[in-house]
Amino acid sequence: MALLEVDHLDIRFPLRHDEIRAVRDVSFALERGERLGIVGESGAGKSVLAFSLLKLLSRPGYIAGGRVRFEGRELTTLSDRQLRRIRGNRVAMIFQDPLTTLNPTLTIGRQMIESLKAHRRISERRARAIALHKLRQVQVSSPEQRFEQYPHQLSGGLCQRVVIAIALLLDPDIIIADEPTTALDVTIQAEIIALLTQLCGKHNVGLIVISHDLCVIGQLTQRLLVMYAGRIVEQGPTREIINDAQHPYTQGLINALPQMTLPRQRLAQIPGNMPSLARVPDGCAFHPRCRYRFTPQGRLRQACVERVPEAVSSGGSRVACHWVRELITTVPIEEEAI
């Protein structure tokens, strides 16, 4: 049994007239100590997925179907009180912008101690000792001094270290990091990435990293989910996906990365924009932007327009694409459709 199992998760945001389906039919698992990445453009549903795992969706979002099992225990049906024992304790979160994550009116120390006290019966002195220890672990210089300071007195990188220290405070089983390095500058990014990998390895913590940045994900994770318009289009070992992406969308993402080794040229881009989640195209959501929606003979592949592709195994990963399926099975998808 995996540490965390997500099964056919479906998340919706009802609006006045219609409903936005932010996450559709998402399934994945996380093993103890494993580092998993979720990548995709803005609006692909990555963050919604991350927040839904602890039922922290903002209104009016709700889980419309599917399961989230943590150590075999169903989370989607738990009450707020029961979830509170898990949040921050067994499953910790790291947010995007460390400067807005920490409460500006409370000292670093106060916020660390309150986290500990929310989950353990512990004396102020003991809590302080643990907090200082964790600050040292994330290599915060002169932790005693930082302890008394307010978030605005610290740099962004330092704040993110504090947030990581808070995440590690209660020795969680899983840390969910939503764009943990996006708000930081590049040199700090590398440090934070190194720190997260090292600490999660050392404490055997499962890590879920959300990012739109393939470089960050590539360095941080062992396994990768690629999301597009609320669905997982490809999942597999990070190394394999980056070296040999199967899904046309993933290929597009990787081609769009700047390459240091190639002569200077315009960066490749995927034509068009990701659809609004309120108006996701029928069939494969990616088909309007996909060059493989046409057969080599120039005919439109009906399946791409009409049917949501099912995931198939290809080159070590699971890929949801009619074209890939056709390549593997060499059965023209038009015939199979009948």
CA-only gyration radius of the chain, Å: 22
CB 30 within 8 A of CB 215: no
Task: Select the residue interacting with another protein from 72, 104, 258, 271 (CB under 8 A).
Answer: 104
Q: Is 100 in the site for another protein (CB under 8 A)?
A: yes
Closest to another protein by CB, 134 vs 301, is 134
Shortest spacing between CB 162 and another protein, in angstroms: 12
Closest to another protein by CB, 159 vs 280, is 159
Closest to another protein by CB, 107 vs 222, is 107
Piece of the chain touching another protein by CB under 8 A; list 96-104, 200-208, 264-272, 304-312: 96-104
Closest to another protein by CB, 67 vs 119, is 119
Piece of the chain touching another protein by CB under 8 A; list 81-89, 251-259, 263-271, 307-315: 81-89
Q: Is 77 in the site for another protein (CB under 8 A)?
A: no
Q: Is 84 in the site for another protein (CB under 8 A)?
A: yes
Interface with another protein (CB under 8 A), residue total 32
Considering only residues 36 to 55 of the shown chain, the ones binding another protein according to CB under 8 A are: 54
CB 8 within 8 A of CB 66: yes
Task: List phi, psi (to 5°) of 326.
Answer: -65, -40
Task: Select the residue interacting with another protein from 61, 66, 88, 109 (CB under 8 A).
Answer: 88
Task: List phi, psi (to 5°) of 312.
Answer: -125, 155
Q: Is 119 in the site for another protein (CB under 8 A)?
A: yes
The identity of residue 101, as a single letter, is T
The tokens for 327 are: 């390549």
**Nearest CA to 274 among 323, 217, 224, 227?**
227
**Nearest CA to 9 among 178, 231, 210, 209?**
231
CB 108 within 8 A of CB 170: no
Q: Which residue has the tokens 């592709």?
A: 309
The tokens for 104 are: 């500006």
Summarize as ranges the residues that interact with another protein (CB under 8 A).
54, 56, 58, 80, 83-89, 92-93, 95-97, 100-107, 114-115, 118-119, 150, 152-153, 166
